[in-house]
Every structure is written in C-alpha cells, then in structure tokens.
Structure 1
Amino acid sequence: MSRIGFKTIEVPDSVTVTKEGDNITVKGPKGELTRHFDPKIKFEQKDGEITVSRSSESDKALHGTSRANLANMIEGVVNGYKKTLKLIGVGYRAQAQGSKLTLNVGYSHPVVLTAPEGVTVKTPSATDVEVEGISKQDVGQFAAEIRAVRSPEPYKGKGIRYTDENVRRKEGKTGK
C-alpha cells in the first residue's frame, strides 16, 4: 500500500501557498498556479511544511493524488517542467513561431498546433522540440498531443518520440 499521502511537502522560502475555500494558490519565482482540491482532503501548513490528511478511510486514493498534485505545483513554480521530443524520419521537421508549432511529418499538409497558455515551445534544431512550463499537467498533455500527430512505428522507427523513450523494433516480413 502506498504511503505517498502521509509524506510532508517541503515549501521553499521563495514560495507562498495560500488557501481560499477549496482552491490552493502557489506563487513562486516562475509564476503562479491555482488548483481546486476536494473538500474531503485537509491541508495544514506550519514551519515551512505542508501536511495532507483525509477525513475518512475511503479517500485513500484521493489523499495520495492530492498530495502529489500539490507537490507538483510547488516543484513547477520553483523549477518548472520540460519535455523534449525528437522527430525521426526523412524530411521530418518542426518549426516554432511564438505559441504555434508547425510539424512537417510526412502528411500532404503541415500540422499546426497551438500551445496552451503558460506553455512555451522551442525548436533548437529542425528535429528537436522542447516543451516547457510550470504546470506538469499542461506540459505533459501538450507533449502527448505533439507525439500523437505521428506516433513512432515499430518497423522503421519513424515518428515523433520522447528523447528518453525506447521504441521496441519489430522484425519485418521474411521472404522465401
């Protein structure tokens, strides 16, 4: 059984955490995040640490999830989150202009994606895409949308993949 919910969350000096009703706002050097939490979960802040508790034994999953979400918010406003994707294939390239990302990945038309607010997209090279932001959920969701445009296929390995992703290759047909 997981004990994530019982771990305390360290709050750095540069971060302020305020609670208004069921909403918690976290302000830090990189920005500000607000999230609604279930009223069954209680948060107590003292001496630079936050303790998360639940009202009943049936809220175990909600307990751990709420604690992880708050810890991710604090981590995001202090350090931020970053996902890096790589385009693999002949002629595959990406170009970022402001919040728009244009992908040429073998379709008859370029695919244009717009980054959500708070997420920045960079293309250090024509085949690399960096997605950065303070919200772990927004960064991960937009990176997944980019990858879904052309998922890596197992035979030639072409497609868009995370840099740390390992694509299992399959053997092709064998001729007689």
Structure 2
Amino acid sequence: MRALGATFPPDSLPYITLTSVLSQLGVEPTFMVLPLCPSCLEVFPGTTSSTSRCSRCDTPLFYSRRRLDRRTSGPETRRPAVQFPMKSIESQLRDILEVPGMEDELELWRQKPRTPGKLTDNFDGEVCKTLPAPDGSRFFENPPRHQELRIGLTLGADWFSYLRSHISPSHSSGPISFNVINFKEHLRFITISY
C-alpha cells in the first residue's frame, strides 16, 4: 500500500479488511459485494435480503454487527457472513474504454507486421484468423470492413486442490483471469474472479 502512495502512522496496526484499506486510500469501490454462504460457499445476488438463509444448506447468510460509525443512526447493521467482491467483465471493459486513447491502443495490433508461419501473438493463430463475426466476416479482419471496435479476451484458470491447501482444507479454489489480447503485452489488463 505504501508503494501506491498511502501513508500510515509508524505505530499503527496494519489494515486487515478491504473496507479499511479503501477508506485509508480514499478510493470509492466500483464493484459489487455479493453474499456467500459460509458453509457451502454458494454465491447469492447482491439484492438478497439480509434475513435470508442459504437455499442449499439453510445457513444464515448475514450476521448482525454493532454499528461503529457515530454519523449514522441505528445500533446494528446486517452484513454478509462472507463477502464476495465482484466486478463484471462488461463494467471493467467500460472502465478501460473511458480512458482517453484506449480505443487507439486496442487497434494497434492491426499495424504490427505479420510473417506467415511465424507466431508472435494471438492474432497470428488460427483462432483469430478464422473466428466468424455475426455478419459472416472474420471477427478480427484486417483491414476491417466495419466501423466497430472488436476486442478479444482470453481465459486462464489455475486451480488449487483442497488436498494441498492450508488456506481452504475442505474446498478447492483458484483464480480465473481474462486478458485483453488487443493490447501490447506490457499493457494487457487482467480481470480476476475466484
């Protein structure tokens, strides 16, 4: 956090929750927090009632917590027992495209010289060369006959077995990442979901 420019008093305890870290950095979160069943790890919509129980194992999804913020009224607040922060790929792509110049960066792959038989990135592969668009043309056609931005995503998954995990001894878990292949290698954005 210090590498990002956050300053902490030398005698302070480290922040241990996402909320306290975001508060210290002065960052407004732009992702949804979904309730997760603490027993079976079923994910529920963000609109789930704070009195709901898990539909699979009947475990309460929320707990009562005494309100520590003196600016708000009420003695207790209901919070998910386990929180699952989530941001859709669509909203992440929207955030990327709001940055000035990103559409131009996403089109730079078209200017890279290509040598038949030499694979240097995804666009040299057969999938990008043959992937059909809804109109029957090639999705990654170069030069394009269309006036729309076409973005390619790759999916990567790496799973950890519960048999080897000290973090989660009864469940397997792992990250799933999406890369925007249109970017140069050093600019590729990764979105992660667990």
TM-score between both structures, scaled by the size of structure 1: 0.29
* Bigger RCO (CA 8 Å, 6+ sep): 1
TM-score between both structures, scaled by the size of structure 2: 0.27
